[in-house]
Amino acid sequence: MTEFRFDQWLDLYATRVNMMRSSEVREMLAVAARPDVISFGGGMPDTRVFPMNQIVEATQRVMLREGHAALQYGSSEGHVGLRRHIAAIMSEVDTAIGVDDIIITDGAQQALEFIAKIFISKGDTIIVEAPSYVGALQAFMSYEPEVVGIPVDDCGMQTDILAVELERLRKEGRQPKFVYVTPNFHNPAGVTLIEERRRHIIELSEKYGFVVVEDDPYGKIRFRGENEIAMRSMDERVIYIGTFSKIFSPGMRLGWVVAPKAILEKLIFAKQAANLCSSSFSQHVTDEYLSSFDWQKNIDDLVDLYRERCATMISALEEFFPEGATWTKPDGGLFIWATLPEGLDSGELLAESIREAKVAYVPGRAFYVGVQKNSSLRLNFSYCPSETIEEGIKRLGAVVKQQLALYRSLFKGYSPGKDKNKNKK
């Protein structure tokens, strides 16, 4: 009799498959699809408030005017009209960018995959924030790198620690390939990298010869304050990644990369090998939408809505979470990063939260490489209406309090931090 094996192809897979892991965010989205669950799990914009009439009109115009092109293959670099719009959008960040400095990708996610593909050989060192966007970790890990995580505080990646790590790596003879940062309204931490640290990363990149990868999906989702200067505008060698997912529609699956010519050439090879070109249909419709409608006003409306939902979530956390819990108060983006009182693990709590409270979130450990226990959780506030946010945080708070009481009864003498208002920022 042949031995039963769960996966009969186990010996045939490439070694990189061992490094691939399913994303807890995606699993959460599956749970979130159940109508009885309130999900703070995904990173989804609220498509229910999108300007549907405008999108219908843009689609109709494209099909009547240039349907043949919209239904055809396009260039690997992407539709020129759309790249012109991107150059204009980027002019807020860096005026020097032209159409030929940009290639269009299937969302920012594909850009991350390509960057991993062209820079990482097995065993190479890369540097990320800790915590870091889970989708970037997934893209990078399948190329089998050694990952160094640099902790993030209220001002973003702690570049003094980065400098120490770079020196350590140099002594060990290891050349980091790139440093990956999400400078604006970090996913998951919600924080923004301050200018001084942006400049420090650029200085360090000159000294240690790594590439800076600046991933900026949330820069335009700002509720208050002034934009920080982009690293791409400080140094043309920076790779900048943008996306239409948060400012228009994730369903279009369109993002872009700006990179120095030599790197762009390699990215185009990767694009051709992956899928020849991004959807012509999406690109034409997005181009038409940006040409014909006041898309900036649509973003402003969306930002107003997210500001209000973020404020609702913060008030609900203040009301319903126990003493000792802390959370970020972001100036933009889609996420709050909450930290539970000492002793509680957000991963263990999740099953209880889904079962008891019917509330989903992403546990902190998903955003680290090699971390099993973590007391933080990522809470999305862009998707649910305010009343649902309040209800969800109320139910989640009750589960947290219940687990905390259990923990305290097991470990007598335990006392969380005294100051309830000790929240970051």
Ligand X SMILES: Cc1ncc(COP(=O)(O)O)c(C=O)c1O
Site for ligand X in 109-148 (CB under 6 A): 109, 133, 135
The values of phi and psi at residue 161, to 5°, are -70, -40
Query: Is residue 24 near ligand X by the rule CB under 6 A?
Result: no
Query: Is residue 332 near ligand X by the rule CB under 6 A?
Result: no
Q: Which of 255, 341, 363, 364 binds ligand X (CB under 6 A)?
A: 255
Tell me the closest approach of the beta carbon of residue 109 to ligand X, in angstroms: 3
CA 171 to chain centre: 32
Q: Ramachandran region of residue 145, left (φ > 0), alpha (ψ -120 to 50) or beta?
A: beta
- Closer to ligand X by Cβ: residue 250 or 392: 250
Please state, in angstroms and as integers, the Cα–Cα distance from residue 425 to each residue in 153, 205, 330, 421, following that order.
10, 29, 8, 10
- Closer to ligand X by Cβ: residue 377 or 404: 377
Q: Which of 183, 250, 324, 364 binds ligand X (CB under 6 A)?
A: 250
Query: Is residue 280 near ligand X by the rule CB under 6 A?
Result: no
Check residue 383 and report its DSSP letter: S
* Residue type at position 245: S
Query: Is residue 107 near ligand X by the rule CB under 6 A?
Result: yes
Please state, in angstroms and as integers, the Cα–Cα distance from residue 188 to each residue in 270, 338, 384, following that order.
28, 10, 17
Alpha-carbon gap, residue 311 to 306, rounded angstroms: 8
Tell me the closest approach of the beta carbon of residue 6 to ligand X, in angstroms: 31
Query: Is residue 333 near ligand X by the rule CB under 6 A?
Result: no
Alpha-carbon gap, residue 86 to 258, rounded angstroms: 10
Query: Is residue 192 near ligand X by the rule CB under 6 A?
Result: no
Q: Which of 187, 205, 328, 376 binds ligand X (CB under 6 A)?
A: 187
Alpha-carbon gap, residue 385 to 387, rounded angstroms: 6
Please state, in angstroms and as integers, the Cα–Cα distance from residue 31 to each residue in 26, 353, 379, following that order.
9, 12, 15
Q: Which of 108, 157, 189, 369 binds ligand X (CB under 6 A)?
A: 108
Tell me the closest approach of the beta carbon of residue 186 to ligand X, in angstroms: 8
Tell me the closest approach of the beta carbon of residue 359 to ligand X, in angstroms: 20
Query: Is residue 183 near ligand X by the rule CB under 6 A?
Result: no
- Closer to ligand X by Cβ: residue 29 or 155: 29
Binding site for ligand X (CB under 6 A): 43, 107-109, 133, 135, 182, 187, 215, 217, 243, 245, 250, 255
